[in-house]
Amino acid sequence: MEILEKTYGKWDKTKIYKESYDDFSHRIFNKNCIEEINKKKRTGDFLLLCHGTFHKQIADAVQIPDTIEIGIGHRSSFARFRVFESEFQRAWTYGQEGKGDGNFYDCVIPGFFDPNDFDYSDQKEDYFLYLGRVISKKGIFVAQQVCEKLNKRLVVAGFGYDKDANAVDAKAFEDLLKLPNVEYVGFAGKEKRKELMRKAKALFLPTLYLEPFGYVVLEANLSGTPVITTDFGAFPETVKDGVNGFRCRDFKEFVEAAKNIDKIKSEECRAWGMKYTLDEITPMYKRYFTQILNLVGKGWYKL
């Protein structure tokens, strides 16, 4: 905590913190990792990294051949072996890199959850939920306008705008909180999040940018709550239209989705979310790690 405070100042749950790969906390973290890994590494070890170029300094310093980036949803992957969160993210990355061919030792393994972190319920209250960073690119204003059109309450949970960083966005956020159909509850910790997701009619996540995965969608589903999203990024993989939520392309479709959200069954949402539990995802990692281990010897041709 002393290092974090030295880097970013005192903790304030209303503030948005900006990180940099070369700020003090990351330099200390990388230094400690390098020292400890070099003490303990052995032949055959995997080095698993999850923060793109923020962790490249570690990889360069410890020189472990089987360096694997896992959970890639970031825009700065670099490792020889890579595990992406979604098919979309893999395709986007290859496109950015100008690749026309695939790499057999890259793969897609989605994010995973402990279902015990969420409370399932099929009894819903009369409100819609927006939970996430309260920024326009996450579609907060789409959610608000749909709920206003239908005269429905929108509960908003998450970090607000940083007045020092963007005065224009801060003003828009302040104006949003004044609207009669919006209830802002601020930062939602684990228990508050469970309660909000369990009781909501639906979760809005109408992200405008190309969402690499969108974890909150599956968190809502595990709570028995359907979702309303855009049709961008990874949502075509995580949201089956009409089963665990709706994907929308214009305002009319968002309004119709909200009006028909009761047609989505809570038990089907839960069943969909259970595809992304640790028990389901573990065999995918075992298969992938085995493939990497098999590179010793005959490699790709090992039977």
pLDDT in tens, 19-31: 787 899 999 999 9
For residue 292, pLDDT over 80 is answered with yes
Q: What is the band of 302 on the pLDDT scale with cuts at 50, 70, 90?
A: confident
Place of tokens 């005192």: 10
Please, what are the domains in the chain? Answer: 2-112+279-301 (no CATH), 115-275 (3.40.50.2000)
Give residue-wise pLDDT tens across range 60-79.
Answer: 999 999 999 999 999 889 99
Give residue-wise pLDDT tens across range 148-166.
Answer: 999 999 999 987 665 555 5
Q: At what angle do helices 251-259 and 140-149 cross, to 10 degrees?
A: 60
* pLDDT for position 10: 84
* pLDDT for position 93: 96
Q: What is the band of 167 on the pLDDT scale with cuts at 50, 70, 90?
A: low
* pLDDT for position 164: 54
pTM over cut 0.85: yes
Q: Tell me which residue of 267, 255, 181, 274 sits closest to 224, measured CA to CA.
A: 267
